[in-house]
Chain A
Amino acid sequence: NAGVTQTPKFQVLKTGQSMTLQCAQDMNHNSMYWYRQDPGMGLRLIYYSASEGTTDKGEVPNGYNVSRLNKREFSLRLESAAPSQTSVYFCASSEWVGENTGELFFGEGSRLTVL
Chain B
Amino acid sequence: KNQVEQSPQSLIILEGKNCTLQCNYTVSPFSNLRWYKQDTGRGPVSLTIMTFSENTKSNGRYTATLDADTKQSSLHITASQLSDSASYICVVSPANSGYALNFGKGTSLLVTP
Contacts and interface: CB of A to CB of B under 8 A. Distances in A.
Contact of B46 (A40, A98, A104): A104
A108 B41 CA distance: 7
A58 interface: yes
Given A42-B4, A42-B89, A101 B49 contact: no
Contact of B43 (A44, A45, A101, A109): A109
A33 B101 CA distance: 12
Interface residues of A, number: 26
Nearest to A50: B99
B101 A101 contact: yes
Contact of B31 (A40, A56, A99): A99
A41 B97 CA distance: 21
Contacts of A31: 99
B10 to A, nearest CB: 12
A109 B39 CA distance: 12
A42 B106 contact: yes
A88 to B, nearest CB: 9
A107 B102 CA distance: 19
Nearest to B42: A108
A84 interface: no
B105 interface: yes
A90 B99 contact: no
A99 B41 contact: no
A4 interface: yes
Interface of B: 2, 4, 31-32, 34, 36, 41-46, 49, 89, 93, 95-106
17 contacts: A42-B103, A42-B104, A42-B105, A44-B103, A45-B100, A90-B44, A98-B31, A99-B96, A100-B95, A100-B96, A101-B98, A101-B101, A103-B49, A104-B101, A106-B43, A107-B43, A108-B42
